[in-house]
Structure 1
Amino acid sequence: MLDVTHDEWLRRAKALEVSGAHHIDGADEPGSGASYAAVSPRDGQVLAQVADGCAAEVDAAVAAARRAFDSGPWPRLAPAERGGVLVRIAELLEERREELALAVSLEMGKPITDAYGIELRAVINTFRWYGQLADKLTDESPRSAPDTLALVTREPAGVVGAVVPWNFPLTLAGWKVAPALAAGCTVVLKPSENSPLSALLLGRIATEAGLPPGVLNVVNGDGPTAGQALGLHPDVDVLAFTGSTAVGRHFLRYAADSNLKRVRLELGGKSPNIILPDAPDLEQAAATAAWGIFFNQGEMCTAPSRLLVHSSIAEQVTEAVVRRARELRVGDPLDPATEMGALVGEGHLERVQDHIGAGLAEGARLRTGGSRTLESTGGSYLQPTVFDEVAPGMRLAREEIFGPVLSVLTFDDLEEAVRLANATEYGLAAALWTSDLSTAHRVSRALKAGTVWVNCYEEGDLTVPFGGMKQSGNGRDKSAHAIEKYTELKTTWIQL
């Protein structure tokens, strides 16, 4: 981690200036003149005035992307040339890593150590990885009759609309934008209205790195306006979205009501974390359970928000998690010593508090936390919260909270654990802690989740795909499989 003090980050925060203009066709555009204030959840202060996009700005961005795809050089470049630009984007992101980390920390409340050490590392690696992959993708030539030649090629799908959330504003943008660009597509990126500044910086850096005008456009705005306009736009060929299941349904409707564009969704989660008595190290399992739910303020779709513990070890594990929650340092995101920062805003804080109130009303036992903290700062801070005696039918066990709230449920045998784990509409991720190899394989296969971790949590790299089952969505980010979202298979049959 960069050796920068709290005082130095505070000084840099005061000096940070990021234009809130849209980035369309390789240039900043003020749009219609309407704007909104980007407010930091750290202290409630205004960071910038951001251009508020409407259908007109979306139309302009899509038109630029369409021109760049239909008649511009990007789809026609040799894959190695496209890859070189992506690698250059990664290099410029590295050069401006501190500025980007500061923007992320200020706009969504992430601790600066995580913004710099995790978020920026992820997005830099993503652009570099897809840049290096770009010229290594192969087409097919199936064996056919002797007097024919069959070719199966992957063609870039066209204009991609990418709508990303605020919790990992650069990582998730990178997971969409980098493979789409590597495939030869052009992109209109709509960041969350809560985290526009880092995405705007990304768009400008991409242009500076040599991306032709119109290939990556960034349009600000809220979901019901800019997001809907992008989802309904007849010139968008693919829509890639990460966010809530409720909003994912809207994008499917937009596709049905417009041009039947392909919609790829990575949606919510209510991930189970199963700890068996034969876990290799119960203290490590408990520490990881606590880290997983409180990392990024619990604002993760993969957060292990349901801790399923065998009844024989439930109190031991729960007490260890509670102890860690009480030790966790909640504070200013710009303080390098802070372990948990601010929730993204007042509205979200209120929604999380509503879930806590529901848990109390339904009879769950509050073991620690549950209250707002650091209110005098003007920021949106919440204590790390742990409930036990949670029943499967409670809201705490069923609904995605997207905050630092852990629900502990117990089971008596493996079949019950699997049944509880799968008793959710979601299927994004799951984890299992056991020393038995057979159990690890059998339970991993039985869990309905796109990713299953064994004796760890949130591990992996760009070589493996990420995405969900059931109402956690479809399609995959990361890995070479992500290219599939942004290409069309074309068969060419040649009679010799």
Structure 2
Amino acid sequence: MTIFPDGKLYIDGTLREAANGATYEDISPWTGEVVGRAADAAPADMEEAIAAARRSFDTTDWSTNHAQRRELVWKLGEKLKANRDRLAELARHEAGSALAAVAVAQVDGPLSFIDTLFEIFDTIEWEKPMGDRVVWGVNSERLLVKEASGVVGVITPWNVPFYITVGKVIPALLAGCTVIVKPAPDTPLLSAILGELADEVGFPAGVLNVVTGKEPAVLGEMLTIDKRVDLISFTGSTGVGKRIMEKGADTLKRVFLELGGKSAGIVLEDAPNFATSVAQSIVCFHAGQGCATITRLLVPRSRYDEAVAVLEAAYQGYSQVWGSFDDPQNVMGPLISERQRDRVLDYIETGKKEGARLIAGGKAATDKGNGWFVEPTCFVDVTNDMTIAREEIFGPVLVVIPFEDDEDAIRIANDSDYGLSGGVTSGDKDRAMRIARRIRSGTVGVNGGVSIAVDLPFGGYKQSGIGKDWGLEGFDEYLETKAIAVGG
């Protein structure tokens, strides 16, 4: 059994234990067994981290010395790449990642994005002359200046923690902010390694701080309500995002919230490979624990029975090939925790009670081991007002909804509190594009196109959040714009 070294806090330039010496167990989703321990920070530790980040931003040249911080963050990126295998093992044992998921979103994807983040950083126009203009009788020479936002509290989720951390921390540091990372309790070691490597690089004290803790709310709420923290960058559930907005209102804190999704994939009747497109809609990657995962499949009523038959066969075949820890082709492992497994099973029971028809899965997969496994699950005969069609399940559950025509498909896709992702498949590109333009979501893939990439902004509409990760827009989240006018 793999046992990782204890994760430490990284506060004010020092790797250390929690002030009271407390630790907590890190549990493997694959086995339910302990794979390590992490420092269990107390409020006093977070207080020290906030004070250090504030002091570093206010009293050093970190925010203005572009060359220094580019060099240090570059070295941190190189350290992360050099620790690829260690990160992969952490993602497998701590986040429950299957091997093929490690090679995509969990580790190799974000590592491959790092160089592009620096390329984007190098395009930022820090000062933009706006020319002279006479306003109210005064001629002014005008200039727009980009400046760091200040102290940033980064609160990360447990599903793809390293991916999210790279997408937030590197842009925030490059923008000139000082950062406090508060990871989800379930995945502390994937953030603790960041502090360890920053210490090896020699980051200035207080610029980057990592504070882990078992309790899910207290430390994050300290960041949210403290006036010394200028911005909260959060990825997680919509419910927690709403609480962050509420608690941050007293200080008018800037918030960037990347939240939940209930994304719809529309397969039109003219799709050239209709059966393949339907079969590939199985929700399996990382056991459906992805905010942008398409979990509502919309198919034309004219080909609905065909789609159901395709899915029955696809799920029957897939039921034999998922859940292997060592298979490099496997994309689906367990859910993150016993609590999450039970939550998903509760949703499945709700779907049955509301009249949806279960054609695959629906149970805990005890044959896969002692971890938190749920079978790949598919419901058909679903209406868009059912709970399983409206709420984010965050598990391997696909719901299938028939539509009458293009307008009906658009209506169903948009009839959601969320708007994060989506897809359209058609033999007519122009038709697919017309539909894609009308889907109210932050990303849409057309005919298999990948709309989530490091150089593209990622974020949602409606209750899927506020703001963007990745791309130049992701850097803008951590920057302020100042207008300067010189008379004469």
- Shorter-normalised TM range: over 0.9
Q: Which amino acid aligns with 1:393?
A: D
Task: Work out which of the residue numbers 303, 322, 328 in structure 2 matches 1:313.
Answer: 303
Q: Which residue of 1 aligns with 2:107?
A: 120
1:98 aligns with 2:85: yes
Residues 154-163 or 138-147, more deviating: 138-147
Unaligned runs of 5+ in 2: none
1:379 aligns with 2:359: no
Distance in 1, Cα, partners of 2:464 & 2:34 = 34
Structure 1 residues 67 and 127, CA, compared in 2 at 3 Å: closer, same or farther? farther
Q: Which residue of 1 aligns with 2:15?
A: 28
1:324 aligns with 2:314: yes
Structure 1 residues 123 and 205, CA, compared in 2 at 3 Å: closer, same or farther? farther
Unaligned runs of 5+ in 1: 1-12
Q: Which residue of 1 aligns with 2:193?
A: 201
Distance in 2, Cα, partners of 1:100 & 1:159 = 27
Q: Which amino acid aligns with 2:293?
A: A
* Structure 1 stretches of 4+ moved >6 Å: none
Distance in 2, Cα, partners of 1:244 & 1:226 = 17
Q: Secondary structure at the match of 1:38?
A: strand
Deviation at 1:375, TM superposition (A): 5.2
1:170-319 maps to which residues of 2 (within 5 A)?
170-221=162-213, 222-257=215-250, 259-290=251-282, 293-319=283-309
Distance in 1, Cα, partners of 2:311 & 2:422 = 18
- TM-score w.r.t. the length of structure 1 is 0.92
1:40 aligns with 2:28: yes
Deviation at 1:128, TM superposition (A): 2.2
Residues 417-426 or 321-330, more deviating: 321-330
- TM-score w.r.t. the length of structure 2 is 0.94
Q: Which residue of 1 aligns with 2:356?
A: 364
1:164 aligns with 2:151: no
Task: Work out which of the residue numbers 47, 63, 71 in structure 2 matches 1:59.
Answer: 47
Q: Which amino acid aligns with 1:19?
A: D
1:445-460 maps to which residues of 2 (within 5 A)?
445-456=437-448, 458-460=450-452
Cα pair 1:162 1:240 within 8 Å, conserved? yes
Cα shift readout 1:280-315 (whole Å, capped 9, x = no counterpart): 32133124312xx21111001111110000012223
Q: Which residue of 1 aligns with 2:75?
A: 88
Root mean square deviation, CA, Å: 1.8
Structure 1 residues 474 and 367, CA, compared in 2 at 3 Å: closer, same or farther? same
Cα pair 1:65 1:187 within 8 Å, conserved? yes
Cα shift readout 1:363-402 (whole Å, capped 9, x = no counterpart): 1110011111135722011110011001111111111000
Distance in 2, Cα, partners of 1:429 & 1:331 = 26
Structure 1 residues 451 and 195, CA, compared in 2 at 3 Å: closer, same or farther? same
Deviation at 1:47, TM superposition (A): 1.6
Q: Secondary structure at the match of 2:484?
A: strand
Q: Secondary structure at the match of 1:143?
A: strand
Q: Which amino acid aligns with 1:20?
A: G
Deviation at 1:140, TM superposition (A): 1.7
Cα pair 1:148 1:493 within 8 Å, conserved? yes
Cα pair 1:271 1:303 within 8 Å, conserved? yes
Deviation at 1:228, TM superposition (A): 1.0
Q: Which residue of 1 aligns with 2:389?
A: 397
Q: Secondary structure at the match of 1:144?
A: strand
Structure 1 residues 130 and 376, CA, compared in 2 at 3 Å: closer, same or farther? closer
Cα shift readout 1:309-353 (whole Å, capped 9, x = no counterpart): 001222323333333333332224344353310100100000000
Q: Which residue of 1 aligns with 2:332?
A: 340
Deviation at 1:132, TM superposition (A): 3.0
Aligned residues: 479
Q: Secondary structure at the match of 2:444?
A: strand
Deviation at 1:51, TM superposition (A): 1.9
Deviation at 1:458, TM superposition (A): 5.0
Deviation at 1:178, TM superposition (A): 1.1
Cα shift readout 1:15-38 (whole Å, capped 9, x = no counterpart): x52322211122222112233211
Cα pair 1:91 1:124 within 8 Å, conserved? no
Task: Work out which of the residue numbers 30, 48, 56 in structure 2 matches 1:68.
Answer: 56
Percent sequence identity over aligned pairs: 37
Cα pair 1:130 1:182 within 8 Å, conserved? no
Deviation at 1:476, TM superposition (A): 0.4
Cα pair 2:31 2:369 within 8 Å, conserved? yes
Cα pair 1:330 1:383 within 8 Å, conserved? no
Deviation at 1:91, TM superposition (A): 1.8
Q: Secondary structure at the match of 1:145?
A: strand
Q: Secondary structure at the match of 2:115?
A: helix
Cα pair 1:299 1:404 within 8 Å, conserved? yes
Q: Which amino acid aligns with 1:191?
A: P
Q: Which residue of 2 aligns with 1:129?
A: 116
Deviation at 1:117, TM superposition (A): 4.2
Cα pair 1:322 1:367 within 8 Å, conserved? yes
Distance in 1, Cα, partners of 2:367 & 2:13 = 41
Deviation at 1:459, TM superposition (A): 4.2
Q: Secondary structure at the match of 2:398?
A: strand
Distance in 2, Cα, partners of 1:406 & 1:264 = 29
Structure 1 residues 458 and 407, CA, compared in 2 at 3 Å: closer, same or farther? farther
